[in-house]
Structure 1
Amino acid sequence: MASNIAKTNAANAVVKNHNNTSVLGTNYENREAGGPIRRNLWAEKYENTEFPLCPDAIENYDKLKKIGQGTFGEVFKARHKITRNIVALKKVLMENEKEGFPITTLREIRYLKLLKHENIVNLIEITKTKASTQSRYKCHFYLVFEFCEHDLAGLLANPNVVFSLSHIKCVMNQILNGLFYIHCNLVLHRDLKAANILVTKTGILKLADFGLARAISSSKSSQNRYTNKVVTLWYRPPELLLGERNYGPSVDMWGTGCIMAELWTRSPILQGGSEQQQLTLISQICGSITPEVWPDVEKLELYNKIEFPKGLKRRLKDRLKPSITDHNALDLLDRMLLLDPKQRIDADNALNHDFFWENPLPESLEKMLVPHTTSMYELFTAARRGKPAQQPNAKLNVKPFFATDQNFERVF
């Protein structure tokens, strides 16, 4: 399988136009290389600019309903006027952009144009509204995706949607297959959470929202210096919380473990309100963070700046046993949520774990989803509860946070 997957050159490609510049007319390469970014003047000369891969075709779509809202854009269910195909339109928010096209959207386009897999959401095209004198030469860009009827967060929030053990195995098998594919292509997702797992009415899962994705260096001798301010807080691994900037696929495996546990608990298992509190909640179920269980952790930037709970034993399995009775599921979860990222199981070995190969075997979600004809998304669930659709980013609270019995209950 891996031999048929595009390698580094494909992962590092950029969608270009006929002038060999970024198709969206931005200083993409300069930004990626850390070079200077010129002031964006494209609006002043827009009518003379060609976008051969980005037609003025948004008028071909009828918006039907808003189905998503994120930091980087809005998502609408839409219908193509000619083909009648249902799609998802992601509107790119440009209001706060002073330097041209958002880097997160450029990344999403970059990787989704290259990553083609059943368990990766398909980017159909990029389109825009037509610029004119009436709009002051401004236009709105849209990414056109295949339509998926649900997201995993929306399904988990509905008590009428019941996942059997076989269904959970099917869900995890598909997530890990998608993850194995992107990791073989040397790409990190860096924002895995239930809301970013889309589900079709036939039960096919799709990894989505690649706005924080990043290529991994193929050289073993080079060190990656990535930002650690990625991954939604509740799914963020301990190494990022401690300031690690040289990381790899293990950051995605932590988020995958959090999602797996959520399939039983039906809500995120680590709901911290700050980075400090998140580390405390992790310590409560994974044990105290020490060099004995995590060699060289003391070398991380923030390790000596934070006061951790001490003397806590690992109790992940004990905490989850009331919800998870399958011993193979507990073992796989335990391997995904190891503190030391070097010891964390990878997607390849996770797919070969006994959890997927012992009865009951994975079963398609299609029949289970048949009665649920209304789409279920995190946005709709949050709106009904009167809460924000996405958990906000948190800043590090340097004041020590100590656990109480009340905080233990917030873990699940």
Structure 2
Amino acid sequence: MSSGSQVEELVFPNCENASEKYEKLAKIGQGTFGEVFKARNRETKALVAMKKVLMENEKEGFPITAIREIKILQLLRHENVVQLIEICRTRAGPYNRFKSTFFLIFEFCEHDLAGLLSNANVKFTLGEIKKVMQQLLNGLYFIHSNKILHRDMKAANILITKNGVLKLADFGLARALVSKGSNPKYTNRVVTLWYRPPELLLGERMYGPSIDVWGAGCIMAEMWTRSPIMQGNTEQHQLQLISQLCGSISPDVWPGVHKMELYDKLELPKGQKRKVKERLKPYVRDQYALDLLDKLLCLDPSKRMDCDSALNHDLFWTDPMPTDLTPMLSRHTTSMFEYLAPPRRRGPIHPQAPAHKPAHNPDQHFERVF
């Protein structure tokens, strides 16, 4: 089947010539998925994001991963999920070896959360952090209710518009949930390592929405620490960092964990006490926030708080209430994306935590003070 016919079968708005319809303004993203550009509709002047579909590895047809992403985004229409507008192609010619290039055209969001957190001039109040997390959990609740797993939760995949609306983005690894009765087995090679939950690191292939909730907990902590809280170099190292923060992984705290494929094949730290609240307290002074973080970063996925319960947590219903992000964002007119920010520097692993609350300094990373 040809690329064109596969895309047309998706019954999604599409345009025949991307360069005629859109003017590229700047590159704002780069990864294994391809490139993302800020662009302008030449007729309406509306800003959009153009995500290039990587075709180099496709001998014939349209990549199945892109088809899956498009189908999922067709289903997910929600304020806190980025909107796919249409699919565009470039005309095939000698300049592109007679192969069309495809772009997914999305609504444009001015920032991603990783970009905002890397900028020392961007400071979130407790009320604003609550608003970010409330919207993030609301988006996750919606996609989980529609039986979709995101499978790549990280700060760079959380977009925020200039009007303060948060959007879950990059559904390239997303997957529809299969009913439990069918004994589903998914790949565990998903989620960026620093945000990957312990069950995936231990080889679990029958998992659910709780894998996204772990990522949400990591992102929530990052709202205060300003950089990823567990920066492992390998799966083994990541499990060590998780154990040092969340306590040793054992059947006592996680019944049945010993049955997981890699439980006996990896060296898991013994005798580690759970220190989520203790280690985060120098940053997170709010007791309700510490309590929610503790529940989101639960080792046992069956006991990890789900999004519905998290949205009903006292954190979101006590003063200061979740605060509109627009006034704070209006002070920053330049778009902030992880791709455009300086590389995140990493400090030594686990020195003693400070007794004082650290300043919002993007170079003062969490590993440095853990």
Instruction: State the TM-score, normalizing by the size of structure 1.
Output: 0.81
Residue of structure 2 in register with 1:6 after alignment = none
Superposition map of 1:79-158 within 5 A: 79-132=40-93, 135-158=96-119
RMSD: 2.2
Superposition map of 1:213-362 within 5 A: 213-217=174-178, 219-362=179-322
One-letter amino acid of the structure 2 residue matched with residue 187 of structure 1: I
One-letter amino acid of the structure 2 residue matched with residue 212 of structure 1: L
1:156/1:263 contact within 8 Å kept: yes
1:241/1:275 contact within 8 Å kept: yes
Count residues with an aligned counterpart.
352
Post-superposition offset of 1:99? 4.9
Residue of structure 2 in register with 1:368 after alignment = 328
Distance in 1, matches of 2:12 and 2:94, equals: 21
Equivalent residue of 2:138, what SS? helix
Instruction: Check if 1:186 corresponds to 2:147.
Output: yes
* Cα distance, 1:181–1:224 mapped onto 2, change above 3 Å: same
One-letter amino acid of the structure 1 residue matched with residue 304 of structure 2: R
Distance in 1, matches of 2:8 and 2:36, equals: 20
1:200-256 Cα deviation digits (max 9, x unpaired): 001000000000000112x33222100000000000000000000000000000000
Equivalent residue of 1:76, what SS? strand
One-letter amino acid of the structure 2 residue matched with residue 213 of structure 1: A
Equivalent residue of 1:125, what SS? strand
Residue of structure 2 in register with 1:23 after alignment = 7
Post-superposition offset of 1:319? 0.3
Distance in 2, matches of 1:206 and 1:377, equals: 14
Residue of structure 2 in register with 1:198 after alignment = 159
1:332/1:350 contact within 8 Å kept: yes
Post-superposition offset of 1:55? 2.7
Residue of structure 2 in register with 1:45 after alignment = none
One-letter amino acid of the structure 1 residue matched with residue 119 of structure 2: N
User: Which sections of structure 1, spanning at least 5 residues, go unmatched?
Assistant: 1-15, 29-50, 388-402
* Cα distance, 1:160–1:52 mapped onto 2, change above 3 Å: closer
One-letter amino acid of the structure 2 residue matched with residue 236 of structure 1: R
Identity of paired residues, percent?
Answer: 64
Equivalent residue of 2:14, what SS? coil
Residue of structure 1 in register with 2:132 after alignment = 171
1:285/1:314 contact within 8 Å kept: yes
Residue of structure 2 in register with 1:46 after alignment = none
* Cα distance, 1:93–1:406 mapped onto 2, change above 3 Å: farther
Instruction: Check if 1:54 corresponds to 2:14.
Output: yes
1:88/1:147 contact within 8 Å kept: yes
Residue of structure 2 in register with 1:65 after alignment = 26
